[in-house]
Amino acid sequence: MAEAKIGIIGGSGLYGIDGMRDVQEANIKTPFGEPSDTIHIGTLEGVRIAFLPRHARGHKINPTNIQARANIWALKSLGVEKIISVSAVGSLKEEIKPGDLVIPDQIIDRTKGRIDTFFTSGIVVHVSMAEPYCAELSKIMLGASHKTSIAVHMGGTYIAMEGPQFSTKAESNLYRSWGASVIGMTALPEAKLTREAEMCYTALCFATDYDCWRENTEAVTAEMILMTLRQNVETSKQILKYAVSNLSGERKCSCNAALRYAIATAPNSINLNTKKQYSLLIDKYVK
């Protein structure tokens, strides 16, 4: 089976990575259904990477219906340790202009009833989400983004909303009053699931617009938003290309031990079926 340690999840507009060589296609079935699309595993800058477009090629899956558990499980089963999530977001701050990049460090959950854990039965697991993103991985992405001309904002809170509709003005202003930086529909449950899978997770969030809070002085057209989105996609490809060669090293962060003290169920109370079902995630702790 194909293998890669680095996984890239593409968002709106990013359905492929240019310049990948020796591409293998993986159609993976997981206990949680099928991932959003075929995963392409190929070599970029000498490093094997796995690419998965979260809305499927052609943008067919809305945020609520993304099988995030299948996506993360499939990447984990390929050996992926580090995930870079690329997405389009709305800006909640004046200084984050359309076309800017935000590498967030916090998330507020405003999704509704998405299944956000692998561990739904037979075992209880409480991972820490105090720091939802991997600081080490984010630092590498910051370094790579500095090699492009994009304006980067390091840190900031991502509001994960349900959608598919965008916010009302009242909601948008509420989130601004919370000090949030950007708003999108896909950081959760991805961040929680990657933590449960002991993977490093970081995000490249490209602002396409000012959400709806800002009283515009200039007219913003759909065409302008689309142009920003296209430009962002090109920049994201450049950043990923610059970053991958720095991503192949061993991990020094604690993401790899996220389950160490998180499994609340006594080992002898976890039955054989549960052990089998979750062996990809818990094998090193529960024999």
Q: Catalytic residue positions? A: 209, 211
Rounded Cα gap, residues 180 and 149, in angstroms: 24
Site stretch for Zn ion (CB under 5 A), options 34-42, 52-60, 139-147, 245-253: 245-253
Q: Does 2 bind Zn ion (CB under 5 A)?
A: no
Residue span 144-183 as binding mask against Zn ion, x where in contact by CB under 5 A, dash where not: ----------------------------------------
- Of 224 and 253, which has the nearer Cβ to Zn ion? 253
CB of 198 to Zn ion, least distance (A): 9
Stretch that binds Zn ion, among 50-58, 231-239, 250-258, 272-280 (CB under 5 A): 250-258
The residue whose two tokens read 């075929």 is 38
Task: Find, among 11, 177, 205, 233, the residue nearest to 105 by Cα.
Answer: 205
Nearer to Zn ion, 226 or 257 (CB): 257
Closest of 243, 250, 49 to residue 141, by C-alpha: 243
Q: Which is nearer to Zn ion, 97 or 139 (CB)?
A: 139
CA-wise closest residue to 123 among 11, 280, 269: 269
Q: Which residues contact 32 (CB under 8 A, 6 or more apart)?
A: 67, 69, 70, 73, 118
Cβ at position 89, least distance to Zn ion in Å: 22
The smaller minimum CB distance to Zn ion, of residues 38 and 256, is found at 256
253 makes contact with Zn ion (CB under 5 A): yes
Q: How far is CA 126 from the centre of its chain?
A: 20
The footprint of Zn ion on residues 125-144 (CB under 5 A) is 134
Residue type, 107: I
Closest CA to 48 of 202, 247, 281, 255: 247
Choose the stretch contacting Zn ion; rule: CB under 5 A; options: 39-47, 101-109, 203-211, 251-259.
Answer: 251-259
| CB hemisphere CA count around 270 (13 angstroms) | 22
**Site for Zn ion (CB under 5 A): how many residues?**
4
17 binds Zn ion (CB under 5 A): no
Find the shortest distance in angstroms from Cβ 202 to Zn ion.
8
Contact flag: residue 102 with Zn ion (CB under 5 A):
no
Residue 200 within binding range of Zn ion, rule CB under 5 A:
yes
Query: What is the rounded CA–CA span in Å between residue 159 and residue 221?
Result: 24
**Residue closer to Zn ion (CB basis): 194 or 228:** 194
- Taking alpha carbons only, the member of 204, 281, 237, 248 closest to residue 82 is 248
When binding is defined by CB under 5 A, the residue of 8, 9, 52, 255 that contacts Zn ion is 255
Give the torsion sign (CA, 119, 192, 41, 164): positive
Collapsing DSSP to helix, strand or coil, 208 comes out as: strand
**Residue 189: is the preceding peptide bond cis (ω within 30°)?**
yes
Asked whether position 191 contacts Zn ion by CB under 5 A, the answer is no
Chain contacts with Zn ion (rule: CB under 5 A) = 134, 200, 253, 255
